[in-house]
A and B are shown apart, each in its own frame.
Chain A
Amino acid sequence: MAPFCDNKDLKRHKAELMFPQKLLAVLSLVAIVFANVVLISISAKFHHNFNPLERMVFFCISPFQEGVARTQHFFRDIWKHYFCLVSVSEENDLLKKRIEELKYLNSRYLESELANRRLRKILNFKPHISFPIVCAEVIGVDPSPWSKTVVINKGDADGVKKGMPVVVPEGIIGHVITVGHGYAKVLLIVDQNSAVDALVQRTRVRGIIKGEGNSTCTFRYALSKEDILIGDTVISSGVDGIFPKGLRVGSVRKVEKDPSEIFQTVMVDPFVDFSRLEEVMVIQKESHF
């Protein structure tokens, strides 16, 4: 053993014998990784709302997003209005035909609506509760391809609150999860953290529409004996306290029944094309949760 210069060296040598430096480094690394995982788990468990600092960050960065989105829309509009004139004439003919079809459909729906009103009166149904709507523009999307949220340009200043449902004419989009002053973040129904209480319109089978993190959803907890067919329309049941009853969600794409399973696997394609979201409507219905 080499002679030690002083007491300090001897102490260090003894400490190294007890805890070799490599072991100490590995233990520290394990401790840091463990602490990191624990902190993230805590963060996941308690879904936080925006604190003032985060609101400020949101407030500062969202205008940039809005600016980029507007520039993008401006150039897209130029493209649409000036460079695509070649196809406009053809499209015009098609649209004229479509208008005729829609006129016919409209008269049918008007007739149905009148019949519906009469029947509701007869059955003494409560009138349909209508909520005020706020129109918003999508100004940002999730930076991660693994989660599905969008940022809209309306916030608590416009009466948007956490939990309010967001829709487009085609169907449900999602609900507001965090709100800033003039901006809000919307969790899309295709996100894996999203769940909507829903039912199959034809057979009234109830289940939960759960996002799969891509462009599809699954209709969960539908018993194997229940009648669900490909092409069936799924609508919101209104039981979850977020989405009003009867909003369109999607259509059934695939049904798998396994005799050994209690529930069947039902894949649902949302009616909304989430890759082309531009204008959305926030229904000012306060969540029960």
Chain B
Amino acid sequence: MVFTTYLFIGIAFVVAQTTFIRLLPFSNIIFDLMIPYVLFLGMYRPGGMSIVLVMVNGSIMDIFSGGVFGIYLSIYLWIYFLTKKAHKYVMVREIASQSLMVALSVFGENIVLWFIHVIGSKYHGLIYQDVGRILIMTLLGGLLGPLILLFLRCVDRSMVIRRSKLIERDV
């Protein structure tokens, strides 16, 4: 049940990103919504289930993206493992830390994708624009990322409450 819910949330993010969000006029500066999702799995969900979710959703992103296959999968796995490690050094459940982590992850992801983009491009005149775009995406990630984390946290809490009610009823 929990796995299916999170799987559908991940797919909903992918569908949103491949339909109406990319058709918005400012879609070029919207950060990857899967990043808060991956961070959430790294922060709040147990290892076994969340790693499968990260891998499945990373692969789906790769299937729908026109880039090199495996790039999103790799980026998400790295973000996931770094989040797990960050538990030791940062108070990951504080909003400021979460904002910073989303911003850093968005920045890291876009640097990797930008690097691949620049390798294949001859006309380098747009680099300044790209830098601006990455910085705006990072900023947006830092500002809006915690809200997505909050939404996922609410979903998580409601599931816990529902499960405890079911257990009480059974008892």
CB within 8 Å of B: which residues of A? 36, 39-40, 43-44, 48, 50, 54, 57-58, 61, 64-65, 68-69, 72, 139-149, 151, 177, 185, 187, 191-193, 210, 212-214, 218, 220, 265, 267, 275
Q: List chain A residues, Cβ under 8 A from B78.
A: 36
B121 at the interface (CB under 8 A from A): yes
* B151: min CB distance to chain A, Å: 19
User: Is B66 positioned at the interface, with any CB of A under 8 Å from its CB?
Assistant: yes
Chain A residues positioned under 8 Å from B28 (CB to CB): 145
CA A148 – CA B65 in complex, angstroms? 8
Which residue of B18, B61, B116 contacts A146 across the interface (Cβ within 8 Å)? B116
| B67 located at the interface, meaning its Cβ lies under 8 Å from any Cβ of chain A in the complex | yes
Instruction: Check B64 against A43 for contact (C-beta < 8 Å).
Output: no
Cα(A55)–Cα(B64), bound, Å: 11
The CA-CA distance from A84 to B60 in the complex, in Å, is 38
Interface size range on B against A: 35 or more
Pick the contact of A64: B11, B32, B68 (CB < 8 A).
B11
Q: Which residues of A contact B108 (CB under 8 A)?
A: none
Identify the 7 closest CB pairs spanning chains A and B, nearest first: A149-B66, A147-B66, A140-B18, A192-B120, A143-B17, A141-B22, A44-B68
B66–A148 CB distance below 8 A: yes
| Contact segment of B47-55, B69-77, B96-104 | B69-77
Can you name the residue of chain B whose Cβ is closest to the Cβ of A139?
B19
Q: Which of A43, A143, A149, A177 contacts B70 (CB 8 A)?
A: A43
Q: Which of B20, B59, B67, B70 contacts A144 (CB 8 A)?
A: B67
A-B CB contact pairs (8 Å), 18 listed: A50-B63, A72-B23, A140-B19, A140-B64, A141-B19, A142-B18, A142-B64, A143-B65, A145-B22, A145-B28, A146-B113, A146-B116, A146-B117, A147-B65, A147-B117, A149-B65, A151-B18, A213-B120
Residues of chain B within 8 A of A48, CB atoms compared: 69
- Specify which of A36, A145, A149, A265 is in contact with B123 (CB 8 Å cutoff): A265
CB neighbours of A146 from chain B (8 A)? 67, 110, 113-114, 116-117
> Does B88 touch A at the CB level, under 8 Å?
no
Expressed in whole angstroms, the Cα–Cα distance for A149 and B23 within the complex equals 13
Q: Which residues of B contact A267 (CB under 8 A)?
A: 123
> Which residues of the other chain, B, contact A185 by a CB distance below 8 angstroms?
64, 66
CB pair B113 A144 closer than 8 Å: yes
- The answer for the CA separation of A65 and B64 in the assembled complex, in Å, is 11
On whether the beta carbons of A141 and B123 are closer than 8 Å, the reply is no
Cβ of B5 < 8 Å from any Cβ of A? no
B67 contacts across to A, CB distance below 8 A: 144, 146-147
In-complex Cβ contact of A275 among B23, B30, B70, B113 (8 A)? B23
A24 to B129, CA, bound (A): 41
Tell whether, in the assembled complex, residue A61 and residue B121 are in contact, meaning their CB atoms are under 8 Å apart. no
- Contact flags B1-39 to A (C-beta < 8 A → 1, else 0): 000000000010011111110110001111010000000
Instruction: Chain A residues near B16: list those with CB within 8 A.
Output: 68
